[in-house]
Amino acid sequence: MINYTAIYSLILREIKVFLREKERILSILISPLLFLFVIGRGVKAEVAIHNYTYQQFIFPGILAMVILFTSITYGLYIIWDKRLDFLKEVLVAPISRATLFWGKAIGGIFGSMIETIILILIGSIFIIKINLLQALLILISAIFISTMLISIGLAIGGKMKSMEGFGLVMSFLTWPMFFFSGALFEIKDTQHYLKIISMINPFTYCVDIMRKILINYSSFNIYLDIFMIFLWLIINSYIAIRIFGNLQQTK
């Protein structure tokens, strides 16, 4: 059912394309850096949470944000493949749709990794001390977080017909996922309705696990975080594979 050579070839393609489109790497970093250095520094004087400055407190959340944006954008990019007809070449190849999905999903992890590493470097220079073990743990979590989020992007991208929906997904899904995740505030001390929305948001647990690793503080039990990330990974990838199974030539 799963063809590993094919997965490898799809991953290879994604890595090559990613490395050749360097503008994408930069453009995705802009919003996180604005949050980190404008809001992070700007609000610093007023609140300090758990002995960390506000900037240090939101840094793990921004790290997760980079993964969120890279992953969802990557997933939605499959619409481009559809538009440019490159997807047809893959759809007509003798590989199962599950193979296609995993090739695409794993291929996207590479991008998230590069962005994460860049942010770890920026963070360790300007914001917070990060040791090697922490960096390693962040990267390992990033693999699963990224796959979980890419599945969402691929599922939506697989359903969408044109790139016009891209902005819509960004404003109605990606940004709300980010704001309702506790990346910018502490969930425990917040309004009741915010808490409820945050708890059904898969991204909340991604932020929480990053915070646990970096500043040893978390709103939920770490095992709950891991469980929720894997649960959503299974749900999302299942849905995405189903949608890929129904992918047909649109024109």
Partner 1 sequence: MDTVIKTYELTKKFGHITAVNSINLEIYKGETLALLGPNGAGKTTFISMLSTLVKSTSGTATLCNIDINRDPLGVRKKIGIVFQEPSTDDLLTARENLYLHSMLYGLNKNEINKKIDEIMGIVGLYERKDDFVRTFSGGMRRRLEIARGLLHEPQVLFLDEPTLGLDPSSRKNIWQYIKYIKEKNKTTIILTTHYMEEADLLSDRIAIIDYGKIVALDTPNNLKNKLGRDIVILKGDISEEIKKLDFVLNVENIEHGCKITLKDINKNLKELINKAGSFEEIEIRRVSLEDVFFKFTGHKIEEGKENNGIFETIARYKTTGK
Write out the residues near partner 1 by the rule CB under 8 A.
Answer: 3, 5-6, 8-10, 12-13, 16-17, 20-21, 84-86, 88-96, 248-249, 251
In the complex, the smallest distance separating the C-beta of residue 176 from partner 1, rounded to whole angstroms, is 32
Cα–Cα distance list, 175 to 35, 44, 96, 103, 145 (Å): 13, 22, 33, 27, 17
Rounded CA gap, 80 and 54, in Å?
A: 38
In the complex, the smallest distance separating the C-beta of residue 165 from partner 1, rounded to whole angstroms, is 20
* Element holding 18 (H helix, E strand): helix 4-20
Of 41 and 83, the one with the shorter C-beta distance to partner 1 is: 83
Of 21 and 136, the one with the shorter C-beta distance to partner 1 is: 21
Helix axes 222-245, 132-159, angle to 10 degrees: 30
Of 92 and 133, the one with the shorter C-beta distance to partner 1 is: 92
In the complex, the smallest distance separating the C-beta of residue 197 from partner 1, rounded to whole angstroms, is 39
In the complex, the smallest distance separating the C-beta of residue 218 from partner 1, rounded to whole angstroms, is 40
In the complex, the smallest distance separating the C-beta of residue 222 from partner 1, rounded to whole angstroms, is 39
Cα–Cα distance list, 67 to 32, 115, 131, 222 (Å): 10, 7, 20, 19
Of 17 and 48, the one with the shorter C-beta distance to partner 1 is: 17
Rounded CA gap, 150 and 144, in Å?
A: 10
Cα–Cα distance list, 97 to 87, 108, 152 (Å): 12, 17, 16
Of 216 and 246, the one with the shorter C-beta distance to partner 1 is: 246
| Of the candidates 111, 147, 143, 135, the residue with the CA atom closest to the CA atom of residue 26 | 111
